[in-house]
């Protein structure tokens, strides 16, 4: 019955969004991420926790929960799980995640409850209570969850504070990673030890994509902004509050600095401002350039970027404005867009994907006349640009990670089944390791072959070393003699003498005796003497003794001759050997026999 | 111990008997030596505990030990070593052994045996490792002794099987540094056992440890092998496979060393054939190694990545097929092939459209990919540079750029291919990388022609706020080939924008346009009407001649016109006038043109444009002829001599202005001749025959002349580079003449005898030092003042001062003119202050008593060691002057013999009532001690440190005036 690791995705199995993966390893149950699905408004938006237990709290069934980063599809269900379903155990996340996560949750709650008017949703207090259960993680810090379970976080890139987690129980281990950002040099790039985990669980959203150099796209972006500014136009960049916005801010800020530009850059207040604050605090989690400049100043202490005020939109002259939300469907970004749309000198840059039905989607598809509320139409004269900056790992990044960590098995989550299929094939072909892609609720089982550590006594080791060559060769196994003692959950390899002593047992001598009948006319002592001299002449290099008590000892074999009372010619040769001397015995026996039958 | 020392001392005594008298003091010193080791001995004996002993040893190791007493000290140390039980003390002793054997003048062969003996009894692994380390030092001190080496190698072999990694590491190090280079003699079996072991193949033994269990030992083994290679041993090819296996080691230092090892082997056996595993194909070893190292560019550790990227650059023998794979990147999106931005840009360019990204999804993926052909993990060389250039760490990116450069320089086709990538790097987030890639592009620019879209990206960098970047880019544009006239227009436009935004770049921009014009005359030709805004029927207004932008356009056009004779026909009248003006005011930027229907403005122009390099030769000839003509003057009093000199000086000065290549030489000659002329005039005055009281007025002029000659002689010596000893001698000779003149004048005017005596003595000292310094040059100074002086020296030194002066006077007047021989290359150090320009009318205001920083930007040409010699002088209107030493970091070196000083000087002053100008200029500091240190330092340094050196400064830039206004502080 080999030990196994079971991985069951409750969400994100062959699917995107609602990341929630259960791992049971070495008798421990761990939940990786606890996300929500953006596409649903009903029960399907949260993972199905009834899989774990039908009724009652989850605390008894889970040893810990680990959150990889602050995106809602990775942490959105956390207050629901901990407060409404019930979980009191530890929740692990990195410091930046812990800081930013509640902001997003609160925002999410506001939209759902205040705007959409849903009831039976978690409250602000629940978010707070949930956050109290969080244990923050530092990078590369090994945290002992209990005596056997330990976790260690690695830098993952993607967004601020995103982490890869190495989970270890005994010699079995699992690495969980999201969206490793190896190629896009946005904020970070990931690195992990060659930790050779049993399973590497990785996200595979962009499994079938190999992206172009980030630098090209950045250059295009900057060039467009620059040209518009030089013409005296205004640039609107609708963004989502976190991640992308900061990335673009840094990009523009540096460019302004480099090119000595004077036009003002604004970002809309509120969420972005708060998030910027956290970026400022967690400067060490960002990329080399940002870290390096920190000696002089904090890069997020923007020099050119100021907070936006509603009235600024009417100011003359060029400017760049970052405004939320990203799809131009409501709020500040839409207001500004309406103001600026009429001037062909201006420009709007959509830095991300837009959902169908939003204004963003319409203008990207080239619609030049928009119908607004109240039957008004809006002529779109400004230039519309699309810029894709995605911080997800592409196929190459995942392969790179596999090469770095050298896992024994691979498990793909958070991606579409077809794409996963492709990547799975590639992984199996390239690294010849097994690759799994379980669907939601499906369990992938990996049997492990754990190595069992055994303590060995130093004396025994030294003795064995003295027997062999000068140095143990790690490549070649060697056999050794010893006694394995299993006592109180620990294994010990000691020499047999010591084992006897420890266990308080007496040593039993095991002797085997063999009687050989033969005809010999000589007297007993003569026969013995003949045997002695013969053995002496044949077995050179062995200790052979003729003992006064009428026996011959060859090493540990005792040879004795006795004749029966009836027939003095019929001699009985008694050979006796101990268990250890078995190997010599047959040689001795053959020689003696040969001598007698001559 | 003591007996041994005593014996040694006696031995030395017995030797000393024959030694000459001078070495007596050395003997005395030597006698005191044993006391030092004895002191140590006493200290060690006194030490009650091992901590004390350690303390003594630590203090002892801080003081140097004389070579003579090292052996004694070592013996005392070893004696203590055997007694010591504490391993930390033994460790210290072991390290001292190595330290002591490094003492200069000490040959450690006498302690080799003792040091080796200590190994046998040592139990502590740490001490053992330290002992081996010391042995390594001893061994490397004795490179000439094969016996010692053999013994040490034997020791290393013996300890290789030690269980401690430290000992094994040290043994491998020892083998790497001392292992025998000669291949072992196969059948040489008559030697005794141990030496046979020493003769075993070092390489195979070291390579056994490639598989050691400790990564540090593996690294040491690789390093030892590399060391052997460095020492000239040919590494066997069998090592290659083993080294390749280590490329996938778990430890980064092993991988890093393995990369080096693989590289070494690829350079040794580039053409060998190696099989590709899992197929029966074979490839060249260098290609295989290239592929493997390329793979390391995506290693997990950035140190290894840097190492790998750097190494790739030096693998020039790699096949082009492999080389081009490094730039391969296949993009895909949802399993469909996607074109890279580069490809898209190229296509757009080919189709004539010039914009991108306007349409939604214009980068939409096109063809469907076969899943089997997509290589996700780059195998081999695939995309190595693509990864390297996009690495997170800028160190890796920089290394990749460097490697690209090296490879591209040797392969034009690769240069063409990597262009896109390099141009991309112009937008890197780290300035160093941007700068590096601009430099690289310049270096490979001979191979490439920029496309319009690439040029666009390149030119965008012109707005960078970093001056270094902009200037590097100007430099790049000077060497760039572009393909179309639109490119020229674009470049001009951007450069003018640059000029507008950063007016300080003026000269750099002009220079850039000069080269752009002369490189692409045919491309400029169709643009001329537009550029000069001429019209076939109408006269257009005359542009402003002082507009830097207009000058920039003219520089471009005129330079293009030199090789395009049809162009001047398109010029309008005022263009010709502006040409004449610019040709005169900016002659380094505007070339001479053959203009139809116009007389050549300057006679020399025809020579200039007629034969490019020939003109330099003819100018050289002219220079030589002038010098020859001057040399006909035998005597300083010859008739017509001053006129001839005058004329020649004028000629030379003009020549220097016209021929920039010879400016240094011509200037040098002219200055030299002026000195001669001044001397001549001073001596020619009839005053020498008139009685003393009458000549007071003339005296003043002569004194001034003597002082001027003296000053000029310092300029001659320190302002010009490329002087040979002979010229220096000539200069010193002139100086001596000037000093003689001063002496004579002093004798005539002053009456104090004491001062005269002292100055006479000083003069004689000068003469002597001259003789010492230029002993080898004396034969060339025939018939000169000095030669005559040296003939009379015995008489001079014995007679009275008044007598001396008389002799001097006659000698000086009789001596002939010294011939000047020109060295090969001679350059004058020059400095131009670019900023401040001195044109600003707005005063710098600041509160008096506080400081204000003034930015200074200057170029220095032909200045040796500017960090130490160049100073900034600030002169305030009240006559105060400050000399500021710029920081060494303020000097950059943009080219050979060129330096750039960008610094800030801090000004401060008490309050003024109105703004006033201060003057800023650069000084070249000199001290003659450096030149006179040749032969007589021993005598001089301790006795007269001040007298031997003459320190001073030569102003070598024009001064620039800056308005400043210190205001009184408000209370």
Q: Which of B218, B131, B146, B215 is closest to B179 using CA atoms? A: B146
- For A529, A556, B254, B803, B911, the CA distances from B244, given in Å and listed in that order, are 66, 53, 11, 87, 74
Contact A220 B389 (CB under 8 A): no
In angstroms, how far is CA B739 from the centroid of its own chain?
A: 38
Of A232 and B932, more confident? A232
pLDDT at B584 over 80: yes
Poorest-confidence range of A119-128, A129-138, B14-23, B126-135?
B14-23
Nearest CB among A259, A384, A422 relative to B465 is that of A259
Residues 6+ apart with CB under 8 A from A199: A5, A7, A174, A175, A407, A408, A409, A410, A411, A446
Q: Measured between beta carbons, which residues in chain B are less than 8 angstroms from residue A475?
A: 211
pLDDT, tens digit (0-9, with 9 covering 90-100), for B510-538? 989 999 888 888 888 888 888 888 777 77
pLDDT at B21 over 60: no
Find the mean pLDDT for residues B80-88: 84
Q: What is the pLDDT of residue B189?
A: 39
pLDDT, tens digit (0-9, with 9 covering 90-100), for B883-927? 888 888 888 877 778 888 888 888 888 888 888 888 888 888 887
Poorest-confidence range of A76-85, B394-403, B562-571, B624-633?
B624-633
How many residues in chain A? 598
How confident is the prediction for chain A on average, in pLDDT?
80
Instruction: Give just the sign of the alpha carbon dihedral A565, A567, A569, A571.
Output: negative
Find the mean pLDDT for residues A222-228: 88
If residue A321 lies in a helix (H) or strand (E), which one and from where to where?
strand A319-323
Torsions phi, psi for B715 (to 5 deg): -60, -45
Question: How many CA atoms lie within 13 Å of A340's alpha carbon, on the beta-carbon side?
Answer: 31
Contact B390 A183 (CB under 8 A): yes
Of A421 and B813, more confident? A421
If residue B833 lies in a helix (H) or strand (E), which one and from where to where?
strand B830-835
B-chain residue closest to A364, CA distance: B360
The pair of structure tokens assigned to A61 is 């069934």
Poorest-confidence range of B314-318, B636-640, B745-749?
B636-640
pLDDT at B110 over 90: no
Test the B interface: residue of A182, A185, A290 with most B CBs within 10 Å: A185
Give the end-to-end CA distance of chain A in Å, rounded to a whole number: 58
Poorest-confidence range of B148-157, B357-366, B404-413, B947-956?
B357-366
pLDDT, tens digit (0-9, with 9 covering 90-100), for B632-644? 766 656 667 778 8
SS3 assignment, position A514: strand
| CB contact A185 to B (< 8 Å) | yes
Poorest-confidence range of A157-166, B40-49, B573-582, B950-959?
B40-49
Of A406 and A280, more confident? A406
Contact B377 A430 (CB under 8 A): yes
If residue B318 lies in a helix (H) or strand (E), which one and from where to where?
none
Q: Which of B416, B335, B235 is closest to A208 using CA atoms? A: B335
| DSSP-derived pairing of the beta strands A172-177 and A199-203 | parallel
Poorest-confidence range of A278-287, A588-597, B20-29, B694-703?
B20-29
Poorest-confidence range of A357-371, B14-28, B36-50, B695-709?
B14-28
Reported in sequence order, the residue ranges of B64-184 that DSSP labels E, i.e. its strands, are: none
Which chain A residues in 224-263 lie under 8 Å from chain B, judged by CB atoms?
224, 226, 254, 257-260
pLDDT at A74 over 80: yes
Q: Could you give the CA distance from residue B473 to residue B422 in angstroms, rounded to a whole number?
A: 13
Q: Are B408 and B415 in contact (CB under 8 A)?
A: yes
Q: Could you give the CA distance from residue B842 to residue B838 in angstroms, rounded to a whole number?
A: 10
Of A172 and A331, more confident? A172
pLDDT at B686 over 80: no
Q: Could you give the CA distance from residue B69 to residue B8 in angstroms, rounded to a whole number?
A: 10
pLDDT at A188 over 60: no
Tokens 């976190």 correspond to: A242
Q: Which of B360, B362, B367 is closest to B335 using CA atoms? A: B367
Q: What is the pLDDT of residue B420?
A: 83
Reported in sequence order, the residue ranges of B177-299 that DSSP labels E, i.e. its strands, are: 273-275, 282-284
| CB contact A498 to B (< 8 Å) | no
> Hey, which residues does A29 pair with through a beta bridge?
A24
- For A231, A234, A316, B434, B599, the CA distances from A346, given in Å and listed in that order, are 9, 5, 12, 30, 56
Q: Measured between beta carbons, which residues in chain A are less than 8 angstroms from residue B298?
A: 400, 403
Contact B357 A385 (CB under 8 A): yes
Q: Which of B126, B617, B801, B354 is closest to A223 using CA atoms? A: B354
Nearest CB among A188, A403, A473 relative to B377 is that of A403
The pair of structure tokens assigned to B674 is 């002026």
Residues 6+ apart with CB under 8 A from B564: B521, B522, B524, B525
The pair of structure tokens assigned to A394 is 């592409």
pLDDT at A116 over 90: no
Of A401 and B129, more confident? B129
Percent of chain B having pLDDT more than 90?
Answer: 5
Q: Which of B142, B165, B168 is closest to B156 using CA atoms? A: B168
pLDDT at B360 over 80: no
What CA dihedral angle connects A319, A324, A329 and A330, to 10 degrees?
Answer: -100
Q: Which of B10, B11, B63 is closest to B37 using CA atoms? A: B63
Instruction: Give the angle A228-A231-A237 at the CA atoms, nearest 5°.
Output: 20
Q: What is the pLDDT of residue A518?
A: 75
Q: Measured between beta carbons, which residues in chain B are less than 8 angstroms from residue A287?
A: 392
Q: Are A345 and A231 in contact (CB under 8 A)?
A: yes
Strands across the sheet containing A149-155: A142-144, A149-155, A163-169, A172-177, A199-203, A409-413, A434-436
Q: Are B819 and B783 in contact (CB under 8 A)?
A: no
How confident is the prediction for chain B on average, in pLDDT?
77
Nearest CB among B332, B341, B429 relative to A208 is that of B332
Q: Could you give the CA distance from residue B207 to residue B209 in angstroms, rounded to a whole number?
A: 5
Q: Could you give the CA distance from residue B456 to residue A226 in angstroms, rounded to a whole number?
A: 13
Q: Assign residue B855 a region: left if phi > 0, alpha if psi is -120 to 50, beta otherwise? A: beta
Find the mean pLDDT for residues B286-293: 88
How many residues in chain B? 971
If residue B535 lies in a helix (H) or strand (E), which one and from where to where?
none
Instruction: Give just the sign of the alpha carbon dihedral A375, A381, A382, A384.
Output: positive
| CB contact A516 to B (< 8 Å) | no
Contact A194 B250 (CB under 8 A): yes
Q: Measured between beta carbons, which residues in chain B are less than 8 angstroms from residue A396?
A: 376-378
Find the mean pLDDT for residues B541-562: 87
What is the per-residue DSSP string for A443-501? -EEEE--PPPP-EE-HHHHHHHHHHS-SS--TTS------EEEEETTEEEEE-HHHHHH
pLDDT, tens digit (0-9, with 9 covering 90-100), for A10-65? 888 888 778 899 999 988 999 999 988 877 777 888 888 888 888 778 888 899 99
Torsions phi, psi for B718 (to 5 deg): -110, -15
Look up the pTM and report it. Answer: 0.71
Q: Could you give the CA distance from residue A203 to residue A187 in angstroms, rounded to a whole number?
A: 19
pLDDT, tens digit (0-9, with 9 covering 90-100), for B148-187? 888 888 888 888 888 888 999 999 998 888 877 664 444 3
Q: What share of chain B is helix, strand, coil (3-state, %, to 5)?
A: 65, 10, 30
Q: What is the pLDDT of residue B346?
A: 62
pLDDT at B939 over 90: no
Chain pair A-B, CB pairs under 8 angstroms: 125
ipTM: 0.74
Query: Number of helices and strands (H, E) in chain A?
Result: 16, 30
Q: Could you give the CA distance from residue A43 to residue B44 in angstroms, rounded to a whole number?
A: 84
Q: Measured between beta carbons, which residues in chain A are less than 8 angstroms from residue B332?
A: 208-210, 395
Nearest CB among B331, B371, B427 relative to A212 is that of B331
Q: What is the pLDDT of residue B226?
A: 92
Find the mean pLDDT for residues B30-52: 64
In angstroms, how far is CA A30 from the centroid of its own chain?
A: 13
Cβ neighbour number for residue B708 with a 10 Å cutoff: 15
Q: What is the pLDDT of residue B788?
A: 78
pLDDT at B581 over 90: no
Q: Could you give the CA distance from residue A35 to residue A104 in angstroms, rounded to a whole number?
A: 12
Q: What is the pLDDT of residue A144?
A: 93
Active site residue ranges of A: 203
pLDDT, tens digit (0-9, with 9 covering 90-100), for A230-274? 888 999 988 876 667 777 887 888 888 888 888 898 887 666 667
Q: Assign residue B783 a region: left if phi > 0, alpha if psi is -120 to 50, beta otherwise? A: left
Q: Assign residue A366 a region: left if phi > 0, alpha if psi is -120 to 50, beta otherwise? A: left
pLDDT band at A198 (very low <50, low <70, confident <90, very high): very high
pLDDT band at B607 (very low <50, low <70, confident <90, very high): very low
């Amino acid at each position: 019955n080999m030990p196994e690791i079971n991985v069951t995705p409750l969400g994100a199995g062959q699917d995107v969004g609602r990341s929630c993966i259960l791992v049971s390893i070495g008798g421990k149950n761990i939940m990786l991420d606890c996300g929500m699905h953006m596409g649903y408004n009903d029960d399907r938006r949260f993972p199905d926790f009834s899989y774990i237990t039908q009724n009652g709290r989850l605390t008894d069934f889970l040893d810990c929960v680990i959150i990889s980063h602050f995106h809602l599809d990775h942490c959105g269900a956390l207050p629901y799980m901990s407060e409404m379903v019930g979980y009191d155990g530890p929740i692990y996340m990195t410091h930046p995640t812990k800081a930013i996560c509640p902001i997003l949750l609160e925002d999410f709650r506001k939209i759902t409850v205040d705007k959409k008017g849903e009831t039976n949703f978690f409250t602000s207090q629940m978010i707070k209570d949930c956050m109290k259960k969080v244990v923050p993680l530092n990078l590369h810090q090994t945290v002992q969850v209990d005596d056997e379970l330990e976790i260690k976080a690695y830098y993952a890139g993607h967004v601020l504070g995103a982490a890869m987690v190495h989970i270890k129980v005994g010699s079995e281990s699992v690495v969980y990673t999201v969206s490793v950002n190896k190629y896009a040099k946005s904020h970070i790039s990931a690195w992990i030890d060659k930790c050779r985990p049993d399973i590497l669980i990785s996200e595979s959203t962009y499994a079938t994509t190999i992206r172009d150099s980030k630098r090209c796209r950045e250059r295009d972006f900057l060039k467009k902004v620059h040209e518009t500014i030089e013409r005296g136009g205004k640039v609107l960049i609708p963004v989502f509050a976190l991640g992308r916005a900061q990335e673009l801010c840094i990009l523009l800020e540096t460019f302004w600095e480099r090119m000595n530009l004077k036009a003002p850059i604004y970002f809309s207040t509120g969420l972005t401002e708060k998030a910027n604050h956290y970026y400022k605090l967690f400067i060490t989690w960002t990329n080399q350039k940002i870290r390096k400049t920190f000696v002089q100043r904090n890069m997020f202490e923007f020099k050119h970027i100021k907070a936006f005020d509603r009235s600024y939109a009417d100011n003359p002259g060029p400017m760049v404005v970052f405004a939320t939300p990203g799809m131009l469907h409501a709020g500040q970004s839409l207001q500004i867009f309406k103001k600026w749309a009429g001037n062909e000198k201006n420009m709007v840059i959509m830095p991300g994907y837009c959902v169908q039905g939003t204004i963003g989607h319409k203008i990207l598809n080239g619609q030049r006349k928009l119908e607004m509320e109240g039957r008004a139409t809006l002529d779109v004269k400004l230039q519309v640009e699309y810029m894709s900056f995605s911080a997800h790992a592409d196929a190459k990044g995942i392969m790179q990670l596999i090469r770095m960590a050298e896992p024994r098995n691979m498990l793909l989550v958070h991606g579409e089944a077809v794409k996963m299929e492709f990547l799975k094939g590639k992984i199996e072909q390239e690294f010849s390791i097994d690759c799994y892609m379980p669907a939601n609720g499906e369990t992938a089982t990996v049997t492990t072959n754990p190595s069992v550590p055994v303590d060995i006594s130093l004396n025994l080791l030294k003795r064995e070393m003295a027997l062999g060559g000068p140095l143990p060769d790690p490549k070649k196994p060697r056999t050794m003699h010893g006694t394995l003692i299993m006592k109180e959950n620990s294994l010990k390899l000691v020499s047999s003498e010591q084992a006897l002593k420890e266990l308080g047992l007496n040593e039993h001598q095991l002797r085997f005796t063999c009687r050989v009948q033969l005809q010999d006319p000589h007297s007993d002592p003569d026969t013995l003497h003949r045997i002695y001299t013969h053995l002496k002449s044949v077995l050179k290099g062995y200790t052979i003794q003729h003992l006064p008590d009428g026996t011959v000892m060859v090493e540990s074999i005792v040879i004795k001759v006795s004749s029966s009372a009836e027939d003095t010619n019929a001699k009985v040769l008694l050979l006796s050997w101990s268990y250890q001397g078995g190997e010599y015995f047959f040689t001795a026996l053959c020689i003696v026999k040969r001598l007698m039958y001559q | 111990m003591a007996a041994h020392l005593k014996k040694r001392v006696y031995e030395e005594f017995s030797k000393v008997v024959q030694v000459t008298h001078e070495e007596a003091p050395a003997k005395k010193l030597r006698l005191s030596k044993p006391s030092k080791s004895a002191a140590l001995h006493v200290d060690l004996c006194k030490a009650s505990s091992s901590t004390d002993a350690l303390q003594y040893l630590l203090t002892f190791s801080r003081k140097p030990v004389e070579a003579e007493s090292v052996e004694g000290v070592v013996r005392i140390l070893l004696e203590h070593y055997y007694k010591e039980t504490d391993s930390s003390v033994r460790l210290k002793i072991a390290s001292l052994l190595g330290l002591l054997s490094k003492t200069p003048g000490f040959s450690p062969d006498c302690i080799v045996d003792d040091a080796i003996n200590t190994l046998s009894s040592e139990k502590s692994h740490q001490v053992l490792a330290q002992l081996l380390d010391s042995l390594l030092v001893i061994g490397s001190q004795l490179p000439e002794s094969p016996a010692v080496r053999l013994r040490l190698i034997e020791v290393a072999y013996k300890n290789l099987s030690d269980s401690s990694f430290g000992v094994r590491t040290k043994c491998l190090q020892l083998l790497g540094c001392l292992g025998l280079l000669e291949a072992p003699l196969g059948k040489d079996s008559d030697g005794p056992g141990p030496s046979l072991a020493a003769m075993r193949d070092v390489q195979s033994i070291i390579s056994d440890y490639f598989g050691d269990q400790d990564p540090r030992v593996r690294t040491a083994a690789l390093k030892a092998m590399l060391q052997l290679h460095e020492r000239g041993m040919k590494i066997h090819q069998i090592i290659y496979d083993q080294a390749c296996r280590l490329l996938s080691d778990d430890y980064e230092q092993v991988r890093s060393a393995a990369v080096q090892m693989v590289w070494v082997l690829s350079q040794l056996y580039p053409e060998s054939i190696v099989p590709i595993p899992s197929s029966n194909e074979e490839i060249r070893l260098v290609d295989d190694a290239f592929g493997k190292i390329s793979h390391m560019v995506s290693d997990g550790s950035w140190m290894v990545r840097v190492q790998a990227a750097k190494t790739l650059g030096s693998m020039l023998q790699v096949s082009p097929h492999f080389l081009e794979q490094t730039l391969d990147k296949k993009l895909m999106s949802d399993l469909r092939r996607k074109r890279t931005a580069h490809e898209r840009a190229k296509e757009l360019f080919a189709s004539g459209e010039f914009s991108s990204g306007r349409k939604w999804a214009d980068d939409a993926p096109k063809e469907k990919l076969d899943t089997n052909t997509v290589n996700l993990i780059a195998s081999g060389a695939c995309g190595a540079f693509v990864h390297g250039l996009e690495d997170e760490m800028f160190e890796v990116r920089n290394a990749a750029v460097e490697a690209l450069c090296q490879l591209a320089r040797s392969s034009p086709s690769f240069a063409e291919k990597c262009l896109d990538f390099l141009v991309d790097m112009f937008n890197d987030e780290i300035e160093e990388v941007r700068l590096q890639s601009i430099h690289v592009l310049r270096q490979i620019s001979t191979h490439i022609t920029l496309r319009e879209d690439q040029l666009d990206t390149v030119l965008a960098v012109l707005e960078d706020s970093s001056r270094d970047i902009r200037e590097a880019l100007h430099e790049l544009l000077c060497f760039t080939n572009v393909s179309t006239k639109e490119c020229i227009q674009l470049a001009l436009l951007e450069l003018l924008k640059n000029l507008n935004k950063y007016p300080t770049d003026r000269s750099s921009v002009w220079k850039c346009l000069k080269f752009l014009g002369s490189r692409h005359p045919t491309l400029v030709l169709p643009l001329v009407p537009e550029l000069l805004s001429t019209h076939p029927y109408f006269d257009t207004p005359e542009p402003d001649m002082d507009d830097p932008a207009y000058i920039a356009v003219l520089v471009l056009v005129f330079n293009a016109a030199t090789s395009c004779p049809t162009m001047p026909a398109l010029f309008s009248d005022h263009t010709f006038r502006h040409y004449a003006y610019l040709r005169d005011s900016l002659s380094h930027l505007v070339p001479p043109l053959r203009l139809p229907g116009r007389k050549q403005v300057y006679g020399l122009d025809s020579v200039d444009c007629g034969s490019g390099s020939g003109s330099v030769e003819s100018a050289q000839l002219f220079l030589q002829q002038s010098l020859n003509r001057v040399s006909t003057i035998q005597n300083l009093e010859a008739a017509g001599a001053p006129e001839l000199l005058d004329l020649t000086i004028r000629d030379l000065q003009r020549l220097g202005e016209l021929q920039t290549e010879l400016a240094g030489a011509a200037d040098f000659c002219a200055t030299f001749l002026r000195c001669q002329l001044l001397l001549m005039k001073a001596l020619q005055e009839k005053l020498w025959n008139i009685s003393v009281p009458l000549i007071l007025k003339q005296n003043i002029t002569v004194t001034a002349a003597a002082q001027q000659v003296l000053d000029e002689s310092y300029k001659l010596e320190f302002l010009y580079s490329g002087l040979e000893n002979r010229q220096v001698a000539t200069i010193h000779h002139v100086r001596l003449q000037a000093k003689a003149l001063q002496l004579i004048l002093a004798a005539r005017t002053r009456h104090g005898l004491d001062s005269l005596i002292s100055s006479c003595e000083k003069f004689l000292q000068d003469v002597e030092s001259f003789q010492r310094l230029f002993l080898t040059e004396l034969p060339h100074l025939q018939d000169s003042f000095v030669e005559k002086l040296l003939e009379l020296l015995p008489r001079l030194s014995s007679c009275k001062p008044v007598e001396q002066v008389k002799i001097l006077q006659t000698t000086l007047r009789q001596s002939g003119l010294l011939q000047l021989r020109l060295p090969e290359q001679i350059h004058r150090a020059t400095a131009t202050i670019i900023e401040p320009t001195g044109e600003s009318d707005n005063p710098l205001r600041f509160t008096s008593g506080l400081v204000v920083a003034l930015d200074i930007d200057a170029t220095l040409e032909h200045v040796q060691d500017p960090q130490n010699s160049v100073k900034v002088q600030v002169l305030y209107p009240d006559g105060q002057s400050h000399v500021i030493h710029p920081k060494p970091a303020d000097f950059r070196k943009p080219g050979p013999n060129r330096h750039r000083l960008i610094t800030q000087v801090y000004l401060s002053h008490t309050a003024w009532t109105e703004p006033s100008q201060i003057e800023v200029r650069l000084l070249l500091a000199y001290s003659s001690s450096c030149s006179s240190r040749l032969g007589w330092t021993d005598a001089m340094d301790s006795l007269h440190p001040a007298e031997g050196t003459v320190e001073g400064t030569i102003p070598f830039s024009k001064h620039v005036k800056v308005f400043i206004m210190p205001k009184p502080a408000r209370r």
